[in-house]
């Protein structure tokens, strides 16, 4: 018999803002020493929740094991990437049978033995969590700059490895986040560091052999809402120092041949203007939304980088999402009617799109490190097509298949069907929905449905393939992705329509999609398992409050559910930079009222809730652990029924859950087992 769930102590805490009283009886679950979590009472409570999770899932152990073995059986144990040329070497990664982590290799193009440059398995030994960050080979090919996170806190340690000996010769910094860039002469490395509040606030350039703590600062960002990131132009002539928030960009250039040169500002920041920069043929190529919501492409002389001349106008029909300037082509990523496109444009102005074989798919430029490649590497997938790697030959306009994701236990695409629906929203918008289901799935509402969405930050969820998902389909589920507003699936304005003051569109879209799928016969109320993570977990919290009767199970991963309190706490890592996304409830009463009206934690009601599985990570710097913990505690204390409610906090991981590929699969198996059990 399942023991009673943990009961969190209620400790009254009342604050007032804009004349409104806010009760936060579980505020004590936030450790005052955060980011360190050492309060014994808090840790004991979280451990008790984890013990309850284990007890509740114990009867499902056989199902979890079965699902895990199915998912594991679909993974090629000794999988490897397709080698890619970068200078004088071919580079690739590979897994060993049974290995949780990758091994990284290279081999001379001219011929020679394989060379192991990084063994993630060896580096992960002794750590409960391990995630490799950046791997960057020096221009002279003698050194490897690599970083790793061993806690899930996303503070990476950056090291320099001598590839002739395989030993690390320097530790540059232990608070790095993001990419790194080598100087052209291989003597210096540029990187960005985070501060105590996990804000990437400065770029530094370390000279090998010098004291890393004395590395000069290339740029430091004074605005607490902006974060710094590094990149490099495709021709490798410039280091890019970008800074910005969710709606505004500012970029500086530093020649890779001279890291001591003063950074050159491309164009000063303008609120709500975004831009990115590449360089080829003594020209800056710029992608920006300054004149059209779906962006335009412009060019500029590096001598006058702020004077932009339009090359491709913005369009209501074509959403420009990416730009890379290679030697022979501008390769442009686009989205038309929600469908990915890749366009090649010569510098003389001739262009064409690459044709792909299916009506609904996702495609993107893959790893293409060379400036003047003869072929372009492209990744491709669909809801029923395993991940495929192509090389595209622009001379012949043909795609060569290099690799199709192998599924050792077998896969028969004819057993599954997929379709793309347009579901009407309550305000007249049409919401795209990608659905995959087993052939013969009953369209009378009797089947179970698993519905996923994200809906924030302009992040589209593509209609891609999943081997793990097959375990649901083979048990009679349909699986749907709701391309709701807040993502940019149908263009940048699709994102804006779900942002800040229009946030309720995101929540309404999801509910309307569910009702539309019910009308199409994919499910009945109470026969839908829903899932979202992070900002998608916020979505789960809102719709659990507003429409609990629709859902048979709610799975909220690292959910952003304490929105009002978090957005009023300037000391938290992401808060100042998040105000453009959600609104600033400190200074703006309208934003306060809006967030107060939907924030899942504040709006838990005395009503029956569906079964719920909530996850979090103790070391998560993005959605802090106390958000899901407080939410679960309030749900237990307030709801009027006793449906199963589980909270699982990864005590040694962060935002992405466990790090090893098999550990991550087991967590996915737990999620699916929960959905299967709750939907019968």
Angle at 487 between CA 588 and CA 200, to 5 degrees: 65
What torsion do the CA atoms of 524, 678, 607, 530 make, to the nearest 10 degrees? -60
Query: Is 427 noted as a catalytic residue in this protein?
Result: no
Return the number of other C-beta atoms located less than 10 Å from residue 301's C-beta. Answer: 11
Over its C-alpha atoms, the chain yields an Rg (Å, rounded) of 25
Q: What are the b/e assignments for 345-377, b being 16+ CB within 10 Å?
A: bebeeeeeebebebebbbbebbebebeebebbb
Catalytic residue among 24, 325, 655, 659: 655
Sheet bearing 430-438, strands edge to edge: 416-424, 430-438, 478-482, 449-452, 528-533, 553-557, 612-617, 645-650
Catalytic residue among 147, 434, 534, 599: 534
- Spatial CB neighbours of 659, under 8 Å, sequence gap ≥ 6: 100, 101, 124, 129, 130, 131, 152, 653
- Spatial CB neighbours of 211, under 8 Å, sequence gap ≥ 6: none
Query: Is 483 noted as a catalytic residue in this protein?
Result: no
What torsion do the CA atoms of 628, 225, 587, 196 make, to the nearest 10 degrees? 60
CB 258 within 8 A of CB 241: no
d(C-alpha 642, C-alpha 441), whole Å = 32
CB 646 within 8 A of CB 48: no
Return the number of other C-beta atoms located less than 10 Å from residue 11's C-beta. Answer: 11
Using DSSP, state whether 536 is helix, strand or coil. Answer: helix
Burial class (CB in 10 A: 0-12, 13-18, 19+), 310: middle
Using DSSP, state whether 100 is helix, strand or coil. Answer: coil
| End-to-end CA gap in the chain | 19
CB 374 within 8 A of CB 382: no
Catalytic residue among 79, 245, 249, 620: 620
d(C-alpha 375, C-alpha 386), whole Å = 22
Query: Is 534 noted as a catalytic residue in this protein?
Result: yes
Concatenated DSSP letters of 42-82: HHHHHHHHHHHHHHHHGGGHHHHHHHHHHHHHTS-TT-BPP
d(C-alpha 202, C-alpha 13), whole Å = 37
d(C-alpha 123, C-alpha 131), whole Å = 10
Residues recognised as catalytic: 534, 620, 655
């Amino acid at each position: 018999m399942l023991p009673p769930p943990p009961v969190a102590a209620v400790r009254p805490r009342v604050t007032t803002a804009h004349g409104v009283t806010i009760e936060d009886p579980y505020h004590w679950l936030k450790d005052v020493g955060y980011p360190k979590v050492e309060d014994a009472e808090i840790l004991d409570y979280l451990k008790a929740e984890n013990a309850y999770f284990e007890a509740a899932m114990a009867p499902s152990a056989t199902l979890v094991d079965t699902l895990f073995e199915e998912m594991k059986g679909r993974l090629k144990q000794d999988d490897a990437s397709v080698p890619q040329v970068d200078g004088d070497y071919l580079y690739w990664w590979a897994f060993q049978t049974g290995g949780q982590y990758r091994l990284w290799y290279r081999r001379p193009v001219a011929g020679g033995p394989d060379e192991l440059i990084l063994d993630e398995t060896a580096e992960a030994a002794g750590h409960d969590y391990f995630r490799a960050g950046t791997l960057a080979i020096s221009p002279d090919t003698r050194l490897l700059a690599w970083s790793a996170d061993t806690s899930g806190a996303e503070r990476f340690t950056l090291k320099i490895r001598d590839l002739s000996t395989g030993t690390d010769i320097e530790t540059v910094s232990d608070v790095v986040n993001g990419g790194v860039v080598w100087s052209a002469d291989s003597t210096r490395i540029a990187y960005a560091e985070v501060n105590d509040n996990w804000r990437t606030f400065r770029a530094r350039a370390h000279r090998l052999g010098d004291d890393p703590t004395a590395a000069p600062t290339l740029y430091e960002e004074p605005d607490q809402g902006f974060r710094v990131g590094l990149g490099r132009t495709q021709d490798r002539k410039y280091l890019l120092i970008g800074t910005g928030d969710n709606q505004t960009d500012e970029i500086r250039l530093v020649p890779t041949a001279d890291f001591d040169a003063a950074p050159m500002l491309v164009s000063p920041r303008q609120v709500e203007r975004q831009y990115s920069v590449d360089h080829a043929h003594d020209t800056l190529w710029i992608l920006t939304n300054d004149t059209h919501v779906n962006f335009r492409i412009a060019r500029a002389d590096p001598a006058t980088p702020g004077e932009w001349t339009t090359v491709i106008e913005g369009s209501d029909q074509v959403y420009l999402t990416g730009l890379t300037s290679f030697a022979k082509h501008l390769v442009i990523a686009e989205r038309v009617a929600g469908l990915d496109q890749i366009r090649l444009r010569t510098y003389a102005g001739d262009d064409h799109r690459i044709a792909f074989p299916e009506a609904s798919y996702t495609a993107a430029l893959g790893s293409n490190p060379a400036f003047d490649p003869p072929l372009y590497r492209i990744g491709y997938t669909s809801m029923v097509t395993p991940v495929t790697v192509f090389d595209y030959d622009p001379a012949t306009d043909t795609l060569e298949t290099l690799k199709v994701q192998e599924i050792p236990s077998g896969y028969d695409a004819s057993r599954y069907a997929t379709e793309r629906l347009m579901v009407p929203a309550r305000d007249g918008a049409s919401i795209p929905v990608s659905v995959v289901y087993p052939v013969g799935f009953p369209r009378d509402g009797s089947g179970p449905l698993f519905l996923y969405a994200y809906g924030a930050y302009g992040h589209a969820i593509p209609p891609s393939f999943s081997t793990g998902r097959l375990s649901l389909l083979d048990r009679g589920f349909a699986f749907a992705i709701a391309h709701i507003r807040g993502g940019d699936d149908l263009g940048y304005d699709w994102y804006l329509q779900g942002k800040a003051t229009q946030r309720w569109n995101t929540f309404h879209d999801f509910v309307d999609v569910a009702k539309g799928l019910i009308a199409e016969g994919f499910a009945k109320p109470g026969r839908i398992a829903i899932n979202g993570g992070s900002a998608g977990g916020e979505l789960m919290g809102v719709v659990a409050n507003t429409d609990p009767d629709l859902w048979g199970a709610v799975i909220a991963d690292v959910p952003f559910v304490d929105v009002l309190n978090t957005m009023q706490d300037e000391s938290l890592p992401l808060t100042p930079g998040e105000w453009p996304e959600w609104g600033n409830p400190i200074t703006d009463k309208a934003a306060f009222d809006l967030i107060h009206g939907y924030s899942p934690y504040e709006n838990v009601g005395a009503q029956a809730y569906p079964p719920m599985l909530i996850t979090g990570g103790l070391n998560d710097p993005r959605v802090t652990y106390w958000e899901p913990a407080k939410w679960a505690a309030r749900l237990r204390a307030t709801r009027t029924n006793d449906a199963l409610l589980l909270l699982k906090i990864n005590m040694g991981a962060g935002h992405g859950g466990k790090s090893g590929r098999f550990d991550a699969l087991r967590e996915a198996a737990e999620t699916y087992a929960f959905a299967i059990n709750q939907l019968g």
